[in-house]
Amino acid sequence: MSDEKRTEESPGLKALVDRYQATQAPPGFAERVAAHVKDEEVSRAWPGSQWIYGASFAFVAVLAVLLTPALFEKESELQIAQQENASQIKEAAPAIQTTPQPEKVESMTNTETPPVVSPPVAQPSGQKTQMAQASEEVKKEILMEENPLDDESLANVAVLSEVSDWLETDTVPAALELDDMPALSDIEELFNTT
Amino acid sequence: MAATSDKELIKQFLAGDEGAFDTFVRRHQDRIYRLACARLYSTHDAVDVAQEVFLRAYKGLRRFRFHAEPFTWLYRTLENVCNEYNRRTVRDRELSQQLDQVAEPGAFAQDGAEQLHMQQVRKVIEQLPKRQQDVVLLRIFEGMSVEETAVTLKCRQGTVKAHLHKALNNLRSYFEALEIEITDDE
């Protein structure tokens, strides 16, 4: 039995096939395909777009080659500056940690009395590091430049510095005689006034 | 005068005759559109898919080596595009169908009837395994000969006949069951 006869045996299938075969592509389908094909052909045939892409890429590549060393230079300068800053901060940090009392004194002098100039105060040997001393001196110099002191203030600061050193070390410097030590009342008065 | 064969048309196209491609499109547009309708959920999608098939053909035919019939190549492209399209749209199938119904109210009656018919075809075809679907679509629905079907599917004619035999038995059972259901409903 042929396939056609078999199909005809089933009326449902036959009707479906007849209807199917009568279906056509929508009108203007071939024209639409032709239009799309034309667009495709134009973009393929015209190499201008490729030239533009190529030129753009080359321009960006040249820019990158030219700008990259300059960027690295800037970056290295920035890194050097950051390293310098970090070393300065490192130098200053131990001083703050190891000598809290002078800092307190300085802050007091900053607010109330004119800032500090370091008088020649006897330092217990081995108590402060060189770095701490250096940073302290730098701080004092800066404060001095900003606010010059009169003689009385200098004397007060000297006394306070000595006291703070004693408090820190719990020892009286050997270089000082008992007569040189300020009286307790003087110290109290000094703290009260400040 | 005998019509120019597909291979001749492609040769002319490769030689620079754009009109040959237009003839090729017009020759196969209805068949490709119908096959797309049978494989997709919407006739509107079928137009887009058929168009995409011919565009891919336009790009790909430049590399055509004439080892197979051009329609075989076109049918394979159609299958690939339909699969891609179905994968992409299966999630929002219902929304797509709603949009189809809303679109172009003037042409709704005709489009709606065609859509309904193609959905029936799709429903019938989906009763069969994949290989039988191909054979039934080309041999029964498209009316191609056993030889043409075998060439298109790249298999032997005996294979086509075997698949067709099984497919028709399956479809007969399906339609008998359907008619019994309809009779029971009445």
Whether the CB of B17 is below 8 Å from some CB of chain A: the reply is no
List the CATH number of the domain containing B31: 1.10.1740.10
The answer to whether residue B121 sits within a structural domain is no
Residues B146 and B60 in one domain: no
Domain boundaries, chain A: 52-98, 99-193
Beta-carbon separation of A29 and B179 below 8 A: no
* Residue A28, min C-alpha distance to chain B (Å): 10
The Cα of A17 is separated from the nearest Cα of chain B by a number of Å equal to 5
| Contact call for A37 and B117, based on CB within 8 A | no
The pLDDT of residue B106 is above 50: no
Is B160 within a domain? Answer: yes
Residue with tokens 């994949």, as numbered in its chain: B130
B14 and B99 assigned to the same domain: yes
Question: Does any domain span residue B145?
Answer: yes
Count the Cβ atoms, other than its own, within 10 Å of residue B23.
17
Instruction: Residue B155: give its domain's CATH number.
Output: 1.10.10.10
pLDDT at A14 over 60: yes
The pLDDT of residue A148 is above 50: yes
Q: Is the pLDDT of residue B60 over 70?
A: yes
Q: Which of A173-182, B73-82, B116-125, B171-180 has the lowest mean pLDDT?
A: A173-182
Residues B50 and B79 in one domain: yes
B69 & B8 share domain: yes
Residue B144 pLDDT > 90: yes
pLDDT one-digit tens code per residue, A49-99 = 666 777 888 888 888 888 887 777 777 888 888 888 888 887 776 655 555
Q: Does the pLDDT of residue A190 top 80, yes or no? A: no
Task: Tell me whether residues B33 and A26 touch, CB distance under 8 A.
Answer: yes
- On whether both B132 and B97 belong to a single domain, the answer is no
Domain count, chain B: 2
* 8 Å CB contact between B89 and B45: yes
Residues B134 and B96 in one domain: no
| Together in a domain, B4 and B91 | yes
Dihedral class, residue B26 (left if φ above 0, else alpha if ψ from -120 to 50, else beta): alpha
**Domain membership flag for residue B36:** yes
ipTM above 0.85, yes or no: no
Please indicate whether, in this complex, the C-beta atoms of B178 and A30 are within 8 angstroms of each other: no
Last residue of a domain, one of B72, B106, B140: B106
B50 or A79, which is more confident?
B50
Q: Which domain range does residue B153 map to?
A: 127-186
Residue B97 has pLDDT above 50, yes or no: yes
In a domain, B115, yes or no: no
The answer to the question of residue B111 being in a domain is: no
